[in-house]
Structure 1
Amino acid sequence: MLFLVISTPRPDHPSSLVDSRSRYWDWMRPLLQSGQAKSVYARAGRGAVALFDVDSNLTLHRFMNEWSDIIPAHFDVYPLLDEDSAKAFLATQSEGAA
């Protein structure tokens, strides 16, 4: 299951979060290595964007809680379809319209 997660941290002084931001990258590294996170980018200014590939909503929930324990933030979450899934869905729509 693919999810795009966009974080918007609390409006704290960025300099007060340097240690937390370093811990965030340490936390993210094993998720990237295992493939549970496909990519992650820091947003210009503040925040981050991560693409997770997880087995369940519960796993995503755990990751988001761990993330917010490191850097409290608001999260926007977008469920995604990979190309094969999107094409398979479109094929079922074409069949129904005919």
Structure 2
Amino acid sequence: MRTLGHIIVLILLALSAFAQAPNATLTGKVTDQTGAVIPQATVTVTGPGGKHASATTDQLGAYQIQSLPASSYSVSAAAKGFANFSKAGVTLAAGQN
């Protein structure tokens, strides 16, 4: 079993502000330690109060989670055949590019 501890979750933040409440979109790519993409991985963001949202990576290992309030999140990735990976303290801020 390969470990997701060595998986690199590249988190690219693309943020956009809406009229009433600033929201963010989290996009990224899940790869293993060799740089090979991991399709069908589940990426979950957990925010304040335990609220969470998830996405599944596509064939290129890419994912996108939209409409996240600006805040600090924990981001985790899980895929069959890999150990889970988690990174805390991922901050999404309104107006950040």
Give TM-score scaled by structure 1 length.
0.31
Greater relative contact order: 1 or 2 (C-alpha under 8 angstroms, separation 6 or more)?
1
Give TM-score scaled by structure 2 length.
0.31
**Whose helix proportion is higher, 1 or 2?**
1
